Amino acid sequence: MKNRNVDKLRNTGKNKSLDSDFRYNTTYISTNNFSYELFPKMRLRRLRKTAAIRELFQEIRLSSRDFVMPIFVQEGINKNLEIESMPGIFRYSPNKILEEIDHILTLGIKGIILFGIPLKKDLNGKNSFNDKGIVQETIKSIKKNFGDKLVIITDVCLCQYTSHGHCGILQGKEIDNDKSLNILSKTALSHAVAGADIVAPSAMMDGQVKSIRNALDRRNFYNVGIIGYSAKLSSNLYTPFRDASHSMPEFGDRKSYQMPFHNTNEALNEIMMDVKEGADIVMIKPALPYLDLIYKTRQTTLLPVCAYSVSGEYSIIKAAALEGWINEDEVVMEFTTCIKRAGADIIISYHTKKIAEILNRS
Ligand code: PBG
Ligand code: ZN
């Protein structure tokens, strides 16, 4: 009886799998020439059974060594000031910075990226390459006290140093690309002289990596690396940073230099140009809404890929956490795992210290 029904079905071609008990059905799927059993021989829940088994087979593991902590130092203050739109993040006073660096090293963090907030701004941002400027002095004192235990990366840009808040030199109301290159190179060089390990130009001027590489090499700083802020998208998520670093443009916006967030090809072209100009590391910024670009960048180059999880990403999480609407620790670990899963080798994150604390606890 059973067989006759099956035959009927087979003849109508309606169902191929009724010819045996479903538990002994040996249908295979084929991927890359390997054949895999299907359900019910295969059950993916087996490797999710206990916490230990899940940990054993976890594909992405975060380490405090994956992270870089952004640090703001402000000239002329003598206590640390909390940034209103970034609760838990401070502008450090020069006389309190070593204490903070010591804490960071204790947590097992290997890198910081330094941002300076100078006392004086002017039209051409010339304090950015002042040998006694806030960033230069901070580098010297960190290196003197901690040597090579910490990788010092410096942000190379003019927006904190120009009276108008733009990232380059003005020509009328336009930002002059080639004039800006000269001053960006001087700034990067002054960071190298002070002892920076890696400089990270973020102004989005064409040719900035090439011109900085040349400036460094001319002075024999061939071991100072460059992170290209290669694909820095014109994002609405930088607002808390501009508030933190007093770098809101006085007029207009940054759209003539930061690239449109709508464009994938252009982002990959920015990456390729920076690679050709001599970048040691390329960057995608912001991170979380841009995982596709991180993934595609990973496929485009063999260089290390850095993702910058920006101020607005921090503030969004922080605000919801402070309201009690999400669990900050869990969300931070999830989001950063996803950034690494997309292909980032290192992640610049304002949550770096919290992540290290969580990892050290587990
Ligand atoms: C300066 C700079 C910015 C950021 C890093 N370097 C701000 C901007 O371009 O306006 C953004 C960092 C953040 O939002 O966390 N060029
Ligand atoms: Zn800038």
CATH for 199: 3.20.20.70
Question: What tokens appear for 17 in the block?
Answer: 């799998």
Question: Is 327 inside a domain boundary?
Answer: no
What residues act catalytically?
232, 285
Do 208 and 179 share a structural domain? yes
Q: Which is the closest atom of ligand 1 to the Cα of 167?
A: 16
- On whether both 195 and 251 belong to a single domain, the answer is yes
Q: Are residues 32 and 164 in the same domain?
A: no
**Is the CB of 257 within 6 Å of ligand 1?**
no
Residue 5 makes CB contacts below 8 A (sequence gap 6+) with 18
Name the domain boundary from 281, 312, 347. Answer: 281
Does one domain contain both 187 and 234?
yes
Q: In this structure, is residue 116 part of a structural domain? A: yes
If asked whether residues 40 and 170 sit together in one domain, one would say no
Decide if 108 is inside a domain: yes
Residue 362 included in any domain: no
Q: Specify whether 105 is located in the same domain as 224.
A: yes
User: Does 311 contact ligand 1 (Cβ within 6 A)?
Assistant: yes
| Rounded Cα–Cα distance for residues 93 and 78 (Å) | 5
Residues 131 and 18 in one domain: no
Q: What tokens does 293 get? A: 């670009």
Query: Is 296 contained in some domain?
Result: no
* Amino acid making up residue 311: S
Q: Are residues 6 and 76 in the same domain?
A: no
Q: Does any domain span residue 349?
A: no
Q: Whole-angstrom Cα distance, residue 131 to residue 138?
A: 11
Sort strands 346-349 and 67-74 into parallel, antiparallel or unpaired.
parallel
Same domain, 35 and 158: no
- Please say which residue of 254, 281, 308 terminates a domain: 281
Q: What residue numbers bound the domain in which 82 lies?
A: 64-281
Nearest bound ligand to the CA of residue 168: 2
Q: Phi/psi of residue 92, each to 5°?
A: -90, 145
Ligand 2 centroid, distance to 254 Cα (angstroms): 9
Q: Please check whether residue 360 lies inside any domain of the structure.
A: no
C-alpha span between 161 and 124 (Å, rounded): 8
350 Cβ closer than 6 Å to some ligand 1 atom:
no
Domain count, the chain: 2
CA of 242 to the centre of ligand 1 (A): 7
Residues 249 and 114 reside in one and the same domain: yes
Atom of ligand 1 nearest to the CA of 240: 14
Report whether residue 157 contacts ligand 1, using a CB cutoff of 6 Å.
yes
242 close to ligand 1 (CB < 6 Angstrom):
yes
pLDDT at position 259: 98
Q: Is the peptide bond before 70 cis (omega within 30 degrees of 0)?
A: no
Q: Which of 256, 281, 306 is the last residue of a domain?
A: 281
Residue 287 lies in a domain: no
In angstroms, what is the span from residue 203 Cα to ligand 1's centroid? 9
Give me the tens of pLDDT residue by residue for the chain, a chain 362 residues long: 344 444 444 444 444 444 444 444 455 555 666 677 889 999 999 999 999 999 999 999 999 999 999 999 999 999 999 999 999 999 999 999 999 999 999 999 999 999 999 999 999 999 999 999 999 999 999 999 999 999 999 999 999 999 999 999 999 999 999 999 999 999 999 999 999 999 999 999 999 999 999 999 999 999 999 999 999 999 999 999 998 999 999 999 999 999 999 999 999 999 999 999 999 999 999 999 999 999 999 999 999 999 999 999 999 999 999 999 999 999 999 999 999 999 999 999 999 999 999 999 98
Q: Are residues 163 and 246 in the same domain?
A: yes
Cα 283 from Cα 95, distance rounded (Å) = 31
Instruction: Round to the nearest angstrom and report the end-to-end CA distance of the chain.
Output: 60
Measured in angstroms, how far is the CA atom of residue 37 from the centroid of ligand 1? 50
If asked whether residues 100 and 180 sit together in one domain, one would say: yes
